[in-house]
Structure 1
Amino acid sequence: MAGKNNPWSYDEGLQQILMSEWSLSFTSLYNLLRAKLCPYFYVCTYQFTVLFRAAGLGGSDVITALISPTTRGLREAMKSEGIEFYMPFQEIRKGKSNASSSHLESGFANDSEGTGKDAENEEEQQLGCDNDEDDDDDDEGFLWLEEMGVQDKIKKPNNISIQLNKERHEVQLDHKPESVVLVKGTNTFTLLNFLMNCKSLVASAGPQAGLPPTLLSPVAFRGATMQMLKARSISIKAQVNSHYKDAFSLEIVGPIMPHSLHSLCMLLQSAQNGSFSAVCYSHEPTAVFNVGISNDKNIKESPGKDLCNCGIHPNTLSQLALSPMLGKSSIRTLEVSDYTYTWKV
C-alpha cells in the first residue's frame, strides 16, 4: 500500500531524478544567499535541520550555518571532509572554565614561587574536561595504591579504555541541543557539497522514504513552490470584571518563519493599537538556533545595503541582524501593552 501511494520509495531511477533536481534547487538557494538576495533558509532532513544565514545576520559578518541536532558520526564525517566547525555550547563551557582559572590564578598571584607553580597546575586541571579530571583522579588513586604496595593486584585501565572514556562524553551529546554545530565562511560551501553527497540525508523507510530534504526560504528559488499557511479566526465573548468584552483570536498553523512572525507583530501592533498577545509553539530541535554565533562584540550589527534587496522589510532585517540571546530557549508567550513588548521563554 505504501509503495502505491509513494512510487518514489521503491523506484531508484525516480529517486535519482528527485535528488538531482533537489541539488540544483539547493545550489540555487545558496547562490542567492551568497549574493545577499536571500537572508536565510532551512534544510529540513528527517534527522536534523540546517539553518543557513547570509553575511550580516545573527551578529556575524560571514555566511553561517547551524546544524541541530547532530551525532558523533555526523561530526566525524564532517571532519573527514575537511569542514571546520564549532560547538557553541562547548565553547561557552571552555570560556567559563578559562574565567574560573583566571580567577584562581589572580588569587594565588601573591604566593611564593612554588605555590604559584602549584596554582598553574591546578589551572591546567580546571581547563581539562570532565574525562581528563577522571583520568587524573585515577592516576592519583594508583599512586596511592603503589605506596600501599598493592598496585599489582589492581588492573590499570589500558589505552583503549581511556579512549572509550573520552569518547563517551561526545556520544552523550548526541541528539541534544548542546550538540548543535556552527559552520562559518567558506566552510559553508564545503558543507553544501557534503550535504548534496550525503547518502544518509534521505530516509530509507517511513513516509519520507526516498524524498530529498525540504528547503524552506522566504524568497523564491529554482524549483520552489509557494505554500500558504493555514489561518483561522475566532470571535468570543470574554468576561472582564462584571461585563463581557469581544475578544478575537487568530490561529496560524504551519512553518512560521522568523520574518513572518516579525511581520505579524508589526501588523497586529498597528491594527490593535499596540496591545495584543501571542502564544508560540516552536519546533523544539530548532529552538537552539537562538544561540549566539559570535563572541566579537565589536561586529557592526547591520544588514548592509546589499541585503536590503532581498525583499524583507527593513525593520525585520534590523531585527534579524541582531545577535541572538535566547540560547537553547525560544519565545513561548508574547505580551504587548501600549507598544511595549514582554515575553517568556
Structure 2
Amino acid sequence: MLGAGPAGAVVAMVLGRRGVRVLVVDDGRQKAFSGGETLPGASRPILGGLGLTDVLDRTPTLPCTGSRSAWGSDELAMRPGIMSAYGAGLHIDRPAFDTHLRVASLRSGASALKGRLSKVDRDDRGWIACVGSDGGQITVKCQWVFDCSGRRSIFARAVGAVRRAADKQVAVVAVAERSGHDDDLATTTESVSEGWWYSAQLPRDRRVFMLFTDGDLLTNSGARSIERFVALGRQTRHISELMATYEFGRIPPTVVLADSSSLDAAAGPGWLAVGDAAASMDPLASTGIIDALKSGRMAAEVLLGSGVRLEDYSRAILERYSQNLRLRSRYHWMEKRWSGSDFWRRRRIPFV
C-alpha cells in the first residue's frame, strides 16, 4: 500500500479486518494544507457503512449550513445544507480526520513503514518493491500493490500507466486566523476573471481561502506572495467581506495541483490505483473525500473477491471521471462574464 491518506486508510482497514496482511508505505511528511476540509452530509452513511462513525466524533468540526456561489452573476445564490437528503455537512479539522483514519487502519491489523518507493520489479511470485527508508533500502515482496499516492500515481506510472490532465488548474491556499466576529458557516464560491475563489470557516478560529487558476497564469497574477494573494481577494465582491475579520500573517500561500486528471487505466494485473491516484475530480464537485472512501472500499473488494472484478473497478473509476468532466463543462459554460480571459476561454471547449 503506497500512501496513508483517506483512500489508503480505507483499503488497509477493510483488508486488515478480513485478515489480509497489509503494509502501508508512506513518507510520513506533514502534508501542506490543500483543501478537502468540508464533508458533505452524504459522507455520514459512507463512514457508518465502514464502521468509522467514531472518526467524526474524535475530529474537531463545525456545522456547514450550506453552499453559496456568485457564478455567472454578481449575486450570491444559496443552497441550504438542510436541502440535502443526508442533512448538512461539516467543516472538519482535516489533519485530525486523516490521523484518525490512519489509526483505524493500524488497529485493524495493518503495519506501517516510513519510506518512499524507489524501484519496482515483478517476477512470477509477485511484486518486488525497493523502499527508501531512514537512509537505507528495504525490499518488500507482495502479491498486490494499491497505489494511493495521490495525483503523483507513483506506482502506476512506474509500471507504465499514463496520466492525462484535462487542464492546468492549481489552487493557491492560505489559512487565516480569526481576528473578529464570524458566524458565516456556509461555503462561498466566487468566479473572477483569472479563475475562482473558495472560502470556508474551519475549527480552531480559522478560515481557508483558495484561489483556483491555471498554473501558467499564476506567475502573472503574483498570487504566490501573501501580500498579492490578499490584495486579489480584496478586489472581489464577496470573498473580500470574509477576509475583513482575518489575519493572514507573513507565510506565503501554498500552491497545490487542482487539475482534473486520470490514468489511462486505473488497474492492472496485481495492482490498483485508488482515490486521486486513479482520477482526480474538479474541486467544484466537492467530492474528493467521498470518492476516496468509495474507491478505497471498492478496491479492497477486488482483492477480497466480493464480486468486483479488476476490469469492473477500472471501468467504474474512469466512468466516474468522465461524468465529472461533463458536469464541469456545464458549470464552466454557465459563467459568461469573463469570455476574454485565458482561464475561461480554455474552458469553452465542451467535453462530450
TM-score relative to the length of structure 2: 0.28
Between Structure 1 and Structure 2, the one with more strand by share is 2
Asked which structure has the greater CA Rg, the reply is: 1
Structure with bigger helix share is: 1
